[in-house]
Each structure stands twice: as C-alpha cells, then as structure tokens.
C-alpha cells in the first residue's frame, strides 16, 4: 500500500513579464471594447448605450466586423459539425436526452441514429419501444452536432459508423475550452490506445479496436476483458490528460502523446503528484515549443 501525505505547497507565481501584447486584448465584464458603432455584436458582449461592452472576462476576438469575447472557461457552446462525447441522461419518446456539459441537455432523435443492421428505413413503433435496447441511461455515446436549437440546446446525430455507443474505456472530463479544434478528433495513438477528443471537453480513451464490425452498427459492446498492457497505456494517458488540463495546456493528439512520452520515466500513479505533474508538463511544453519553432 502507499500513502502520500504532505503539506500543501504554495502555488508558484507565474511571471507576467513579456505578455504585454496579450494583455491588450484581455477584457473583464463592463469593459468598453469600442464606441465605434460600425461593429457587430458577438458572444460575450452587449450594447450599453451604443457602446460595445464586454460581459465576460476573456480575450477579444475580431473577425472582420464581428467582435466576440471568448471566456477562459465556460460550459460547452456547441457548433454544427462538432464531435462530442455525451452520456444518456433520459430516454423519452422518440428521443434521448444527452448530457454533454452544455448548458441545456442535448437531444438525440431516434431518427438521427443508425439502427443495427445499417439499413435506412422509417422508424416504426417497435423501434420506439425498443429504444432502451440501443441506448439506456448512463450509456456513453460519441456523436456529431447536427443543429443548434433557438434556445441553445443541441441536436445530435450518430449517422456515421465512427459515431455510436462507446464500449469499455475511460472517460476524462476537462474544460471544453482546453480541447483544440482540429480536422479530426478521432485518433489511434501510436502508444497503443485510441482517443476521442470531444469538443465538449469529454475525452474518451479506449483500446484500439481490432477491426470494425459493420454489422453491429455500433450497438454491440464487447465484454471481453481488456488486456493489462492496454489498461496501463489508457491509465497513463488518463493521468497525462489530467496533468495537462491542470496546467491548462491545450489538448490535441500531439500534446497528449508528448506528455505520454515524457511521463514514461514515472509510475502511472505518480503522474498526479504535483511535482511530477509539473515536470512532465514542462517537458511537454518544451517539446511543443521546439516543434513550433
């Protein structure tokens, strides 16, 4: 057994020097961004007597005439085409309610899923009755955002073989703003596991599947135990992602992989100890910077 008890350490002060450029575009609620009326009002701003004012603390983003303020941390704001990982919260008539750390529960309509067998057909009353056989409360799914309703709730779909019910693996939850938007959010990492980086901050780690079983339509889950070697990789990845998230490093395949490699000299369970976390994250940062520079 192992117990690691200690006194809390004082957080290191981050030097704020050399960041003048960034500071200019940082605003807090109530800051007037511009008094010029020629701009369009985006998220995170409001008009206060003709003055465009920030309503959240964050960075100002300008796209042509549109001004937005992106808060550092917020609930997930879905956009059409985003890949998300979510948990079924409720089975309702003709639809599932899905928890996606968005501000309202997302909706997965029975008509937006591929039913087993893969054939495209009208959804019958039987399908409606057997909805729980496909997905029940607590199940995890990967899906794509199909539409955003007027009240901000998301409508999801799983009409592709890469989406669907998730089997054995580990879910890690981080802030949505830490997941970097990329071309693909599905990766088979060379270290031996696969990762789905949901745009909503839900990250799914699972053993790389042997072959895609098309007939199952994504509703069959293997009950075979996962090999110990795969588990070790997954657990290490999990702790690496948490370490990166704790130090607010953007998450994408390369940063996760670099962190994984930097952590190899430590035991898996030690990665979450503050000093090891710091060391591993620092190495990752250096490697990322080297690659860029």
| Residue 267 interacting with another protein (CB under 8 A) | yes
Stretch that binds another protein, among 15-23, 121-129, 155-163, 188-196 (CB under 8 A): 15-23
Size of the site for another protein (CB under 8 A): 75
69 forms bridges with which residues in the sheet? 60
State the minimum distance, in angstroms, from the CB of residue 4 to another protein. Answer: 5
Residues 6+ apart with CB under 8 A from 204: 85, 140, 142, 166, 169, 170, 171, 172, 195, 196, 198
Please give the residues from 188 up to 207 whose contact with another protein meets the rule CB under 8 A.
Answer: none
Instruction: For residue 183, state whether it binds another protein (rule: CB under 8 A).
Output: no
Residue 123 touching another protein (CB under 8 A): no
How far, in Å, CA of 256 to CA of 190, rounded?
A: 11
List binders of another protein among 232-251 (CB under 8 A).
232, 235-236, 238-239, 247-250
- Choose the stretch contacting another protein; rule: CB under 8 A; options: 112-120, 121-129, 132-140, 183-191: 132-140
Residue 144 binds another protein, judged by CB under 8 A: no
Task: Round to whole Å and give the CA distance between 63 and 10.
Answer: 40
Phi, psi torsion values for 102, nearest 5 degrees: -90, 175
Tell me whether residue 139 or residue 253 sits nearer to another protein (CB atom).
Answer: 139
**Residue 210 binding another protein, by CB under 8 A:** no
Alpha-carbon span 265 to 200, nearest angstrom: 31
Closer residue to another protein in complex, CB, 107/257: 107
Output the CA–CA distances (angstroms, integers) from residue 201 to 74, 117, 159, 187, in the order listed. Answer: 11, 31, 21, 16
Choose between 6 and 121: whose C-beta lies nearer to another protein.
Answer: 6
Whole-angstrom Cα distance, residue 142 to residue 104? 18
* From candidates 36, 48, 79, 128, binder to another protein by CB under 8 A: 48
Which one of 140, 145, 179, 197 is in contact with another protein (CB under 8 A)? 140
Whole-angstrom distance, CA of residue 221 vs CA of residue 89: 19
x/- binding map, residues 62-101, to another protein, per CB under 8 A?
Answer: ---------xxxxx-----------x-x------------
Q: Which of residues 211-230 bind another protein (CB under 8 A)?
A: 221, 223, 225-226, 228
Instruction: Report how far apart the first and last C-alpha atoms of the chain are (Å, whole number).
Output: 44
Residue 225 CB coordination number (10 Å): 9
């Amino acid at each position: 057994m192992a117990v690691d008890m200690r006194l809390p350490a004082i957080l290191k002060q981050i030097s704020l020097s050399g960041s003048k450029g960034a500071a200019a575009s940082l605003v807090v609620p109530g800051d007037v961004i511009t008094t010029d009326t020629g701009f369009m009002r985006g998220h995170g701003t409001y008009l206060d007597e003709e003055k465009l004012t920030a309503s959240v603390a964050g960075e100002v983003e300008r796209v042509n005439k549109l001004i937005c303020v992106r808060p550092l941390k917020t609930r997930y704001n879905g956009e059409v085409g985003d890949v998300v990982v979510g948990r079924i919260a409720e089975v309702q008539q003709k639809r599932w309610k899905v928890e996606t750390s968005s501000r309202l529960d997302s909706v997965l309509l029975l008509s937006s899923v591929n039913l087993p067998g893969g054939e495209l057909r009208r959804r019958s009353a039987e399908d409606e009755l057997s909805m729980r056989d496909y997905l029940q409360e607590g199940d995890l799914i990967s899906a794509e955002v199909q539409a955003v309703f007027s009240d901000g709730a998301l409508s999801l779909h799983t009409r592709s073989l890469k989406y669907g019910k998730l089997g054995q693996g580990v879910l890690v939850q981080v802030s949505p703003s830490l997941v970097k938007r990329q071309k693909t959010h599905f990766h088979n990492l060379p270290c031996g596991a696969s990762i789905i980086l949901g745009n909503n901050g839900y990250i799914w780690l699972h053993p790389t599947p042997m072959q895609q079983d098309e007939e199952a339509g994504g509703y069959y889950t293997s009950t075979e135990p996962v090999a110990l070697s795969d588990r070790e990789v997954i657990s290490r990845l999990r702790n690496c992602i948490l370490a990166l998230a704790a130090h607010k490093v953007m998450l994408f395949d390369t940063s996760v992989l670099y962190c994984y490699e930097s952590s190899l000299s430590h035991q898996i369970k030690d990665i979450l100890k503050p000093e090891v976390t710091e060391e591993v994250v620092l190495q990752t940062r250096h490697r990322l910077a080297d690659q860029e520079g």
